[in-house]
Chain A
Amino acid sequence: MSQNLRILMIDDESRILRALKALLREHTTFQTTNPLEAVKLAKQHDVDVVICDQRMPEKTGIEVLRDIKDAHPRAMRVLLTGYSDLKAVLGSVNESEVYRFLSKPWNNTELRALIEDAGKISREAPVIERDALPTVEHDRARSQVGVLVIEDDVTVQQRLREILQPYYKVNFANSAERALLLMEQHETGVVISETEAGRSDLTALLKALKIHHPHIATVVITERANAATAIELINEGQVYRMLIKPVRMGTCRLSVDSAIGRYWQLKQNPSAARRFMAAPATVEGQNSPLRLPAQILNRIRSLPGRLMSVAARTH
C-alpha cells in the first residue's frame, strides 16, 4: 500500500466529494463545497494533492487552483470537470498550471493511481516557487538558452521573429525534421510550436519531447483551438503555455520569459522536473508519441540532456 496522503477536494456537489472520499479512503481527505475556503484548507493541512471542480458558483476551479499554486505551491493540482470548454482548458494551462485535466465520469482505478503518483511527487520532488528569475540571472539565461520556433507559416514566423529576435537566441524550423536537427545542435530550453506544420501533426513530437526531456518548456501557439487536443497536450504533453493566434507581443514575451526561467531552474535542479511529468503514452489515440517513426523517437531520446548534474559528471 502506498503512503497516506493528505488530499483536498473541492466541488459544489457534495455527493462528488463523498464519492471521492470513499474512493480515496486509504488517505486522509479534506473537503469543501465552498471554493472560497480552499486556499486556507490547503495551507492549514499542508495537503499533497488538490482535486477541484471547474464550474462552481462562487469561484471557478481555474481560480481556486491558481490561488493554491501561489499560496501552497507544493500541492499537485488536478482539475476534475464535467464539461470541458476551451476557456477552462486554456485557463488550466496558463493560469493554474494543472498536473492533470480530468473529465467526469472518471475511472476509479486510474484516478486512484494518478492521485497516488501525484502525492508521491509532491512529497519527494523539490518545488520551484516561481518561474521568473532575478534580472541578472535572467539575462544570463537568455544569452545561453535557445528558443526554438516550429512554425511553417511565413507570416507568423516573421511576426515571431520581430517579437523574439531582439531578446532571445531564436531558431526557426518549419518541420519536425528540421526542429530535431536544430535541437541536436543548440541547447534548447523553450520550444514554441504550432500543433501542426504542413498538415502534419506536431503534437506527438511535443509529447515525446516532454517524455524524454521534461525540463524543456513547450509553448503551443495555435490557430484552430480544439478542447480535446488541448487536454491531451496537458495530460500527455505537460504543455507550459497555450496561446491562440494572432499572437500578441506582450503575452508572448511574458510566456517565453517565464518559460526560460522554468527551464533554467529545472536545469539546475533536475529532480524538480518530476512535477511536470507527462502521463505515460498509450498506443491508442491518433497523435500518440508511440506512433512516431522509430528513427524520430530515437533521435528525440538521444537529444543531449544539458542538465547541470549531467554537466558536472562529464567535466
Chain B
Amino acid sequence: MLSVIVILLLGGCIWLGYEVHRLQRENLVLRAGTGESEDALKKMQASQAQVIQTTKLASLGQMVAGVAHEINTPLGFVKSNVEVVGDLLDDYRALVQQYDVAVQYCLQPVDLIFSADKVSLEKLVKHVEEARRKLFEARAAVEKSPLLTDAKELLGDASEGLSQLSTLVLNLKGFSRVDRDGMDTMDLNEGVESALMIAQHQMRDRVKVVKHLQPLPKVKCMASQINQVFLNLITNAAQAIDGDGTLTIDSRADANNVEISFSDTGCGIPDDVLPKIFDPFFTTKPVGEGTGLGLSIVHKIVKSHGGSIKVRTTPKKGTTFTVILPVIGQTASAAIPAAAAA
C-alpha cells in the first residue's frame, strides 16, 4: 500500500515536473511570440517611416528639378553678363590706351613753329591735322565703347537676376520651413505661392494658372506640412491635365474657416476610383511612378490640423479639391510627427 502511494506520489512528482517543464517551454514560446510580433510591429513602423521618407524624397527630387530650372535661367544671364562686362573693361582699357597714344602725339614738341620756311609750316599744319584726327577718332572710339552703352544695362540685369535668385532661395526656405519647427502662424496664400513656384516646371508651357487669392487671416499650422499638401494637390492637378489646360486656385475665408480650392480642367476621377483616392497605397499610376501615398498623406495632414478636404469631380471635365482649415488652429501635438520635416 505504502509502496503504491510512494509510486503514485513519485508519478505525480514526475508528472508535475514534466508539466512545469512544459509550461516553462510554452512560456518561452509565448515570449518569443510576443517578441516576434513586437519585431513585426517595429518592422512595419520602420517600413512605413521609410515610405513616408521616400515620398518626402520624391517631393524633394521634384523640388530640386523644378528649382534647377528656375535657377538656371537667371544664373545663365547673370554669369554671362558679369563675364561680358569683364571683357568690355579689357576692351575699354585698350581704347583708353589708344586715346593716350593720340594725346601723346598731340603733345609732341613742335619747335618748328617759329621757323617760317614753307616746308616746315606745311609739316606743322599736317601734324596738327593728324593730331586732331587721331584725337577725334580715339575719343569717338571711347565714347562708342559698349562699356559705356551696354555695361550698365548688363549689370542691371545681373543685379535683377541676383534678386530673382534670392527670391527663389527665400521661397525654398519658406516652403520647407527649415528654420522653424512645429506650429507656426502662416498666411496660406504664401504657401500656395511657394508650392506653385516649385511645381512650375511641370506646368510652364501647358498649364495656365489662374489665381483668385483673397486676403486670409493667419492660420496656426505646421507650415511645412501644409505646403506639402498644396504641392501635392498642384502636382496632381498638373498630372491630371493631358496637354493644355487651366489650374484655378481660389482662396477665401469666413469667420471660422479658411478655404483653398484647386480646380483643374483635367481628366476627372471615375466613380469607381473616387471612394479610394484617400486610401494609402491606392494609385492609378503605373508601377514605380506613384507611391499611392500622396493623397492619403494630404488627408492625414489636413485631418490632423482639424480641417477637412472636399472633392468634386466630373469625368473628362476636371476635379476640384478644396482644403478647409479652421482659423484657430489645433495644438501642436495634433500634427503628424512623422511628416514633420517634409
Q: Mark A53-64 against chain B: 1 for CB-CB distance below 8 A, else 0.
A: 001110010000
Q: Among the listed stretches B146-154, B268-276, B285-293, which one makes contact with chain A, having 4 or more residues with CB under 8 Å of it? A: B146-154
Query: Which B residues between 107 and 138 are near A, CB-CB below 8 angstroms?
Result: none
> Given A15-B161, A82-B72: A105 and B79 within 8 A (CB)?
yes
**A106, CB-defined interface residue at 8 Å:** yes
A18: chain B residues at CB < 8 Å are 77, 81, 153-154, 157
**A1, CB-defined interface residue at 8 Å:** no
Contact status A103-B84, CB under 8 Å: no
Q: Which 5 A-B pairs have the closest CB atoms?
A: A83-B69, A104-B76, A82-B72, A19-B77, A105-B76
> Given A15-B160, A22-B154, A82-B69: A56 and B77 within 8 A (CB)?
no
**B179, CB-defined interface residue at 8 Å:** no
| B88 (CB) vs chain A CBs: closest residue | A22
Contact status B84-A105, CB under 8 Å: no
Which of B75, B154, B201, B204 interacts with A105 by CB under 8 Å? B75
Q: How far is the CA of A13 from the CA of B73 in the complex (A)?
A: 8
**B80, CB-defined interface residue at 8 Å:** yes
Which of B68, B83, B157 interacts with A83 by CB under 8 Å? B68
Contact status A22-B146, CB under 8 Å: yes
Q: How far is the CA of A23 from the CA of B150 in the complex (A)?
A: 11
Query: Which B residues between 24 and 49 are near A, CB-CB below 8 angstroms?
Result: none
Q: A22-B88, A22-B150 are in contact. List 6 more A-B contacts (CB 8 A).
A: A18-B77, A55-B69, A57-B204, A82-B69, A83-B69, A104-B76
Which of A20, A23, A60, A82 interacts with B73 by CB under 8 Å? A82
Q: How many A residues touch the partner, as a band?
A: 20 to 34
| B79 (CB) vs chain A CBs: closest residue | A105
**A313, CB-defined interface residue at 8 Å:** no
> Given A25-B146, A57-B205: A16 and B76 within 8 A (CB)?
yes
Q: How far is the CA of A57 from the CA of B84 in the complex (A)?
A: 29
> Given A15-B161, A83-B65: A20 and B80 within 8 A (CB)?
yes
Contact status B205-A13, CB under 8 Å: no
Distance in Å: Cβ of A109 to nearest Cβ of chain B: 9
B73: chain A residues at CB < 8 Å are 13, 16, 82, 104
**A309, CB-defined interface residue at 8 Å:** no
Contact status B205-A19, CB under 8 Å: no
| B85 (CB) vs chain A CBs: closest residue | A22
List 16 A-B residue pairs with CB atoms under 8 Å apart, sorted by A's residue number.
Answer: A18-B77, A19-B154, A22-B84, A22-B88, A22-B154, A23-B80, A55-B201, A57-B204, A82-B70, A82-B71, A83-B72, A83-B201, A103-B72, A105-B72, A106-B80, A108-B80
Distance in Å: Cβ of A111 to nearest Cβ of chain B: 8
A104: chain B residues at CB < 8 Å are 72-73, 75-76
| B91 (CB) vs chain A CBs: closest residue | A25
Contact status B205-A56, CB under 8 Å: yes
Contact status A15-B157, CB under 8 Å: yes
Distance in Å: Cβ of A174 to nearest Cβ of chain B: 29
Query: Which A residues between 1 and 38 are near B, CB-CB below 8 angstroms?
Result: 13, 15-16, 18-20, 22-23, 25
B83: chain A residues at CB < 8 Å are 108
A-B contact count, CB below 8 Å? 70
Contact status A13-B72, CB under 8 Å: no
B201: chain A residues at CB < 8 Å are 55, 83
| B67 (CB) vs chain A CBs: closest residue | A83
> Given A82-B69, A83-B68, A105-B79: A19 and B160 within 8 A (CB)?
no
Q: Mark A155-191 against chain B: 1 for CB-CB distance below 8 A, else 0.
A: 0000000000000000000000000000000000000
Tally of chain B residues near chain A (CB < 8 A): 28
| A18 (CB) vs chain B CBs: closest residue | B157
Which of A19, A60, A83 interacts with B84 by CB under 8 Å? A19
Distance in Å: Cβ of A61 to nearest Cβ of chain B: 10
Q: How far is the CA of A105 from the CA of B84 in the complex (A)?
A: 14
A82: chain B residues at CB < 8 Å are 68-73, 76
Q: How far is the CA of A181 from the CA of B78 in the complex (A)?
A: 51
Contact status A19-B80, CB under 8 Å: yes
A23: chain B residues at CB < 8 Å are 80, 84
Query: Which B residues between 90 and 113 are near A, CB-CB below 8 angstroms?
Result: none
B204: chain A residues at CB < 8 Å are 55, 57
Distance in Å: Cβ of B118 to nearest Cβ of chain A: 44
Choose among A16, A55, A103, A105 the residue with the greatest number of B CB atoms under 10 Å from its CB.
A105
Q: How far is the CA of A105 from the CA of B204 in the complex (A)?
A: 19
| A21 (CB) vs chain B CBs: closest residue | B150
| B201 (CB) vs chain A CBs: closest residue | A83
Q: Mark B218-254 against chain A: 1 for CB-CB distance below 8 A, else 0.
A: 0000000000000000000000000000000000000
Query: Which A residues between 111 and 158 are near B, CB-CB below 8 angstroms?
Result: none
Distance in Å: Cβ of A91 to nearest Cβ of chain B: 12
B79: chain A residues at CB < 8 Å are 105
Contact status B76-A19, CB under 8 Å: yes
Q: Mark B193-209 against chain A: 1 for CB-CB distance below 8 A, else 0.
A: 00000000100110000
Q: How far is the CA of A55 from the CA of B201 in the complex (A)?
A: 9
| B205 (CB) vs chain A CBs: closest residue | A55
Choose among A60, A103, A106 the residue with the greatest number of B CB atoms under 10 Å from its CB.
A106
Q: How far is the CA of A82 from the CA of B76 in the complex (A)?
A: 8
Q: How far is the CA of A60 from the CA of B205 in the complex (A)?
A: 7
A25: chain B residues at CB < 8 Å are 146, 150
Distance in Å: Cβ of B203 to nearest Cβ of chain A: 10
Contact status B84-A108, CB under 8 Å: yes
A19: chain B residues at CB < 8 Å are 76-77, 80-81, 84, 154, 157
Choose among B69, B70, B77 the residue with the greatest number of A CB atoms under 10 Å from its CB.
B77
Choose among A22, A56, A105, A108 the residue with the greatest number of B CB atoms under 10 Å from its CB.
A22
Distance in Å: Cβ of A198 to nearest Cβ of chain B: 25
A83: chain B residues at CB < 8 Å are 65, 68-69, 72, 201
Q: How far is the CA of A18 from the CA of B74 in the complex (A)?
A: 12
